[in-house]
Amino acid sequence: MARARRGQSELHLGPNEILRFALELAGLVAMGIWGWNAFAGPLNVLAAIGVPFLAAAIWGIFRVPNDPGPAPVAVPGPIRLGIELAFFGLAVVLLYAAGQQLPALVFGALVVFHYAVGYRRIEWLLRGGGR
């Protein structure tokens, strides 16, 4: 468990937070796999890099304050939850569309597990998040 220094927002890294980070990375990889397989020629390289880059930018920019740290663009908790669900849902759909059905189903099940275990964060987001 890691904690931030005094005067900073508290950062707690438990098993579910580590799973969440792994799911974020796996989601970006899934989007890259789809981009690589969806196009031919140089477009596959562009899509394999561009789609995950765009998703990561949206993920990192539109955040609730103190989740943890400052938000570059602060959004209400329900909007952030929608961004997260769209990100993970898109990763599942794109992985499935890339012909990776079993990995897509396993990834989707892990996302559901993550949110089930982290129900308190969902409640916090639905109440408005860091505002």
For residue 10, give every residue at least 6 positions away whose Cβ sits within 8 Å of its Cβ, in sequence order, or none. Answer: 3, 4, 68
- How far apart are the C-alpha atoms of 55 and 87, rounded to whole Å? 7
Contact 35, 51 (CB under 8 A): yes
Output the six-digit token pair for 5.
């220094």
pTM, entire model: 0.86
In 1-131, the DSSP E strands lie at: 62-63, 73-74
* Domain residue ranges in the chain: 23-126
pLDDT of residue 70: 84
Nearest to 107 by CA among 117, 95, 97: 95
Query: Per-residue confidence of the chain (131 residues) as pLDDT tens digits?
Result: 444 444 445 667 899 999 999 999 999 999 999 999 999 999 999 999 999 999 999 999 999 998 877 889 999 999 999 999 999 999 999 999 999 999 999 999 999 999 999 999 999 999 987 66
How high is the pLDDT of residue 10?
Answer: 60
Which contacts of 117-121 are long-range, i.e. CB under 8 A and separated by 24 or more positions?
117/16, 117/19, 118/16, 118/20
